[in-house]
Amino acid sequence: MSFNSTLAFGIAALLCCSDSATAAEFGRPATAEEIKAWNIDVAPDGTGLPDGQGDVARGRQVFEDNCSACHGAKGEGGFADRLAGGRGSLATDHPVKTVGSFWPYATTLFDYVRRAMPYPAPQTLSDDDTYAVVAYILNLNDIVPADAVLDRSSLPRVKMPNRDGLVPDREFSVITNSRQHQGRKP
């Protein structure tokens, strides 16, 4: 039997035996509280951003206390990635990809710092401190002024220099599948 027919056979067998299974037999409902705790992603339109706020001055303190040991005093890089500078370098032979030169969305910076940094103790900064350190990194890149205060409404409005720099591949720029058509009312 060829691999494809083995696969097809496997899938057919699966369909024939699984139609009696319902979600009730597997798993349990997630509570609203659980979803709130785990639902940490932040979308470019700001969906997922928490309450709270932070400014550049506070952010400098947060950065010096928690980040500069690895990323350099002004985000110039060290043991870990450079976070500032590099504007205008992307089309040269030595591109420098940083938050300022390359990241298309400021919301992604909040999302990433909240989920992954500081590297040794991720998800330990308060939401206020996360807004603050994001404001500081954006200020290091001359994207927000020194008196900027970021919160859930101002952060998604920050326009990143490389906002239009990423071009989705045609294969995955518009996603369609046969389930969409099944769901459509006649």
Give me the residues that bind other proteins (CB under 8 A), please.
3-4, 7, 10-11, 14, 17-18, 21-23, 25-30, 34-35, 38-41, 43-44, 90-91, 93, 95, 97, 99, 102-105, 107-108, 111-112, 115-116, 119, 122-123, 165-169, 171-173, 175-184
Minimum distance between the CB of residue 39 and ligand HEC, rounded to whole angstroms? 21
Binding test (CB under 6 A) with ligand HEC, winner from 58, 60, 71, 114? 71
Query: Of the candidates 77, 57, 56, 53, which has an alpha carbon nearest to the alpha carbon of residue 67?
Result: 77
User: Does residue 120 interact with ligand HEC by CB under 6 A?
Assistant: yes
User: Does residue 84 interact with ligand HEC by CB under 6 A?
Assistant: no
**Contact yes or no for 66/125 (Cβ under 8 A):** yes
CB within 8 A of 164, min separation 6: which ones?
104
Minimum distance between the CB of residue 131 and other proteins, rounded to whole angstroms? 17
Minimum distance between the CB of residue 165 and other proteins, rounded to whole angstroms? 6
- 127-140 and 56-66 helices, crossing angle to 10°: 100
User: Does residue 73 interact with ligand HEC by CB under 6 A?
Assistant: no
Beta-bridged to residue 55, according to DSSP, are 149
27 CB-side CA count, 13 A? 6
Closest to ligand HEC by CB, 55 vs 171, is 55
Residue 75, token pair as written in the block: 């985000």
Minimum distance between the CB of residue 89 and ligand HEC, rounded to whole angstroms? 14
Q: Is 129 in a helix, a strand, or coil? A: helix
**Contact yes or no for 152/112 (Cβ under 8 A):** no
Query: Of the candidates 22, 116, 121, 17, which has an alpha carbon nearest to the alpha carbon of residue 66?
Result: 121
Which residues make up the interface to ligand HEC (CB under 6 A)? 66-67, 69-71, 79-81, 83, 99, 109, 112-113, 117-120, 125, 133
